[in-house]
Amino acid sequence: MEDHFEELLLNLKQVVGFIFPNEIELHWGLLIVVYPYVTGLVAGAFILASLERIFNIEELKPTYRLSLITALAFLFVAPLPLLSHLGHPELSFEIFLTPHLQSAMAMFGFVYIWYLMVVLLLEIWFDYRKDLVVWSRNETGLKKYMYKILTLGATDLSDRALRFDKKAGKFITIIGIPSAFILHGYVGFIFGSVKANPWWSSVLMPIVFLFSAIVSGIAIMILIYGFTTLIRWKKFQMGCLDKLGSYLMYAIILDLSLELLDFIHRLYESEESIKIISQMVSSRLFLSLVIIQLILGSILPLVGLVLVRVRPLPDELRRLIYFGSAILVQVGIFSTRWNVVVGGQLFSKSFRGLTIYKVQVLGIEGLLMSIGLLLLPFVILWALIKIIPPWPEAETVVPSAAAERKE
Amino acid sequence: MKYKGKLFRASKEATGDLNAKVGKIPQQLKSLFVLFLVLISLFFLLRHFFTPDTFGKYGHYRAAAIDSIMSQPLRYAGAQLCMECHDDIYALKIESYHRDVSCEGCHGPAIAHTEDPSEFVPPAPRERGYCPLCHEYNPSRPTGFPQIDLTSHNPPKPCIDCHDPHDPKPPHTPEQCSACHAEIYRTKAVSHHAPLLCTRCHEAPEAHKDQPRMHLPSKPTSRTFCGECHAMEADSPKDIPRIMMSDHGIGYVCWQCHYPHYPEVR
């Protein structure tokens, strides 16, 4: 308790202007920054996979399954920052048992379950079912049983069944896109609907969140595709990378214009909060918003990606630009989340002062925990890749129905 | 009898139909149907057994949560309790400017002290750094809230040397500029310009004292202003040092070289 006061006193020394007593300390810290960042990656990766599926984009084939299981890996981690933020995580399951339909926050669990069970897992299951069946026949030992269980007993490999898998997959993709929009739009909605906070309260918030999600999702797929191709000693399919690069470019353009629209709208509306917000942007958030989010995270990658389109560059250089842009975009989008979550709490509701946020290193809401939570999806992804390899060459060839009958 | 046979046949056809239809449902859907059925029943089962007993008693929450919050240890006693033993201080404070500042706001949580005064004695913030938490000059504090500039307001003495924390006497209202511009005042007070009133050089509207920023006083704007006293031909007391306005520091205003509140010649 005393330590806590000491800390508050230190913060108080850096407060500028007038703030209310309960505003010295931020309540939503680094973990709450990680949460929208991770769900954004889920939604973005899934939407990328859906584009491939619905529009049948041949170049993106190598990333289809990879995107799906990347989305899954990040989705598993998405609720963890929230859980670790709770004072009583062990009571959190009660929120499922007693749904509160009028509370957007309380509905998160259901949005999440819907997306996990009805969209992502189902789509992956339908897509992998024939492989699961074949693997369950060819593998031995424990693995055999694992695959058997994963098939859920649906071992029919007839043409009709396979055709149904395809149709069902497509159908789920079609429900999946609005669902992915809802999942991440939902996160934006939570912030956008806080009436009392002028930095958050904006109808554009869910939309801006969504497009930044798409940006980050495409960028992470460029990185994951690049990295997995490298460590598997495979040749890059430049067609695929070019396509991803061009999507990334369009997504950044859309995202950037939406954010500028939001910005101009705020300036033009010029509500009473505009003074403190501009003070915040030019002081506390200058580095993370102007330098990192805008210049490093949006404009610089955009310049690179446009350059690739207007000038024929050698493959090597193009790859470098794609990876460089993708990394910058990740940093930029993380910064975006930071600016929304932390920025919204830095200024006083009196519009007269700014507080400060210092990231702790240790502790359940600290830096190490957040780094752990950001690495965890990659561990899960690695495990998923081991269980259901997403590579095109791992895909099994189904013995034709005729051969089946002869057996 | 005939009728019955017909019914039987019809139902047999129907079940046959159903069988055929069920046969047509893809195997995948059947498995998924079973899986989701299991999960949904599991949900209802869990809901039945694990919904907290007191849920919904008062509203959409666990009524027992109130008890668990109530059972948290109390830390603050409240001023009423302090009064029982420190009635003198209480009586003093309730009439003072600090009437709205709670005892434990300065002395810290003190419930342990009320239970056994000898066991735990709350600390008293005697050091100079404490009061400025509320009284240090800060432009965003409400107008009229008593504020001081820490660096110039009687350093380095502790505040309680001059102010009784339980009855901070109302100091006279700032009729002079020194209340706010203490540093300039003090600087000027020991300079060659000490005898000059601030208002000799600044025309300060009365409203400046209430809303300083909204009604700013004037400042000298030209060399001729200083020349009113310092020019060779100026009609001013003899002991004032004179300069040749036409060649002294020409091209600059005087205060680019002389600080007007502490003019020095070296």
Q: Can you give the pLDDT at residue A401? A: 47
| Minimum Cα–Cα distance from B48: chain A residue | A97
Q: What is the pLDDT of residue B20?
A: 64
Going by their DSSP bridges, the two strands A353-354 and A16-17 should be labelled as: antiparallel
Which residues of A lie inside 8 Å of B (Cβ-Cβ)?
Answer: 12, 17-18, 93-94, 96-98, 100, 117, 122, 126, 129, 151-156, 160-161, 164-165, 168, 350, 352-353
Q: pLDDT grade, residue B11 (50/70/90)?
A: low
Residue whose entry in the numeric block shows the structure tokens 């007391």: B237
Interchain pair B55, A98: CB under 8 A: yes
| Residue partners of A343: CB distance under 8 A and separation at least 6 | A199, A280, A284, A285, A289
Q: Which residues of B touch A (CB under 8 A)?
A: 26-28, 30-32, 34-35, 39, 43, 46-47, 50-52, 55-56, 60, 62, 133, 138-141
Tokens 């998924």: give the residue. B32
With cut-offs at 50, 70 and 90, classify the pLDDT of residue A88: confident
Distance (Å) from the alpha carbon of A383 to chain B's nearest alpha carbon: 24
SS3 category, A17: strand
What was the pLDDT predicted at B14? Answer: 53
Q: What is the pLDDT of residue B197?
A: 85
From the list B163, B155, B143, B182, the residue with the least C-alpha distance to B101 is B163
Domains parsed from chain A with CATH numbers:
22-260+361-394 (1.20.1630)
Rounded to whole angstroms, how far apart are CA atoms B212 and B237? 33
B127: chain A residues, CB-CB within 8 Å: none
Tens-digit pLDDT profile for residues B93-127: 998 999 999 999 999 899 999 999 998 999 999 99
Indicate the residue of B52, B60, B141 with minimum beta-carbon distance to A18. Answer: B141
What is d(CA B157, CA B153) in angstroms, rounded to the nearest whole number?
9
Name the minimum distance, in Å, from the CA of B26 to any CA of chain A: 7
CA distances from B175 to B15, B117, B212 (A): 102, 45, 13
CA atoms within 13 A on the CB side of A168: 24
pLDDT at res. A210:
92
Which pTM value belongs to this model?
Answer: 0.67
Q: How confident is the model at residue B15 (pLDDT cuts 50, 70, 90)?
A: low
Select the residue of A17, A100, A129 nearest B28 (Cβ to Cβ): A129
Beta bridge partners of B164: B167
Q: Which residues of A touch B39 (CB under 8 A)?
A: 117
Burial grade of A78 (CB within 10 A; 0-12, 13-18, 19 or more): buried
pLDDT digits (tens, 9 = 90+) for B39-61: 999 999 999 998 888 998 998 88
Confidence of residue A302 (pLDDT cuts 50, 70, 90): very high
Instruction: Give the number of A-B residue pairs with CB atoms closer than 8 Å.
Output: 56
The more confidently predicted of residues B10 and A49 is A49
pLDDT above 80: residue A202: yes
CB contact under 8 A, B28 and A94: no
Q: How close does chain A come to B141, measured CA to CA in Å? A: 6
- Contact, B120 vs B112, CB < 8 A? yes
User: What is the reported pLDDT for A398?
Assistant: 67
pLDDT tens digit sequence for A13-47: 788 888 888 888 888 999 999 999 999 999 999 99
Sign of the four-CA dihedral B51, B52, B54, B57: negative
Q: CA of B216 to nearest chain A CA: how many angstroms apart?
A: 21
Q: What is the ipTM of this complex?
A: 0.80
Chain A residues near residue B138 by CB distance under 8 angstroms: 17-18
| Nearest of A364, A376, A279, A283 to residue A30 by alpha carbon | A364
- Evaluate if residue A407 carries a pLDDT over 60: no
Minimum mean pLDDT among A65-79, A283-297, A378-392, B18-32: which range?
Answer: B18-32
* Per-residue model confidence (pLDDT) at position B9: 55
- Is the pLDDT at A339 greater than 90? The verdict is yes
DSSP B136: B
C-alpha B199: how far from chain center:
35
What sign for the dihedral angle of Cα A70, A72, A75, A76?
A: negative
Nearest residue of chain B to residue A100 (CA atoms):
B60
Judged by CB atoms closer than 8 Å, whether chains meet at A94 and B62 is answered as: yes
C-beta atoms of A160 and B26 within 8 A: yes
CA A184 to mean position of chain CA atoms: 8
pLDDT at A404: 46
Q: Token digits for A86? A: 């709770």
Question: Quick one: tokens of A220?
Answer: 């992470």
Q: Do A161 and B26 touch (CB under 8 A)?
A: yes
Q: Which residues of A touch B43 (CB under 8 A)?
A: 96
Which residues make Cβ contacts (< 8 Å) with residue A164, sequence separation at least 6? Answer: B26, B28
Cα–Cα nearest to A386, from A204, A135, A211, A184: A135
Confidence of residue B235 (pLDDT cuts 50, 70, 90): confident
Closest CA of chain B from A18, distance in Å: 5
pLDDT, tens only, A114-125 = 888 889 999 999
DSSP H/E element including A39: helix A30-55
pLDDT at B124: 92
Chain B residues within an 8 Å CB radius of A350: 140
Q: How is B158-227 classified by DSSP, letter by letter? A: -GGGTSBTTB---PPP--SGGGT-HHHHHHHHTSTTTTS-HHHH----GGGGTSTTTSPPP---SHHHHH
Alpha-carbon distance of A190 to B261, in angstroms, equals 56
What is the secondary structure of A210-242 as a DSSP string?
A: HHHHHHHHHHHHHHHHHHHHHHTTPPP-HHHHH
pLDDT at residue number B6: 53
Mean predicted confidence (pLDDT) in B56-77:
90
Looking at A71-85, A214-228, A316-330, B200-214, which range is the least confident one? B200-214
The mean-pLDDT minimum among A11-20, A93-102, A222-231 falls in A11-20
Calculate the average pLDDT of chain A: 90
pLDDT above 90 for A342: yes
| Contact (CB<8Å) B32/A97 | no
Distances (CA, A) of A6 to A10, A21, B6: 6, 15, 90
Residue at token pair 């700013």: B216
pLDDT mean over A341-369? 90
Q: Is the pLDDT of residue B24 over 80?
A: no
Contact A68, A216 (CB under 8 A): no
Q: Mean pLDDT throughout B204-230?
A: 89
Of A157-161, B3-7, B38-42, B49-53, least confident by mean pLDDT is B3-7
B51 SS3 class: coil
What pLDDT sits at residue B151? 82
The model's confidence at residue B16, banded by pLDDT at 50, 70 and 90, is low
| Residues B265, B241: Cα–Cα separation, whole Å | 11
Q: How far is A380 from chain B (nearest CA, A)?
A: 24
B139 contacts on A by Cβ (under 8 Å):
17
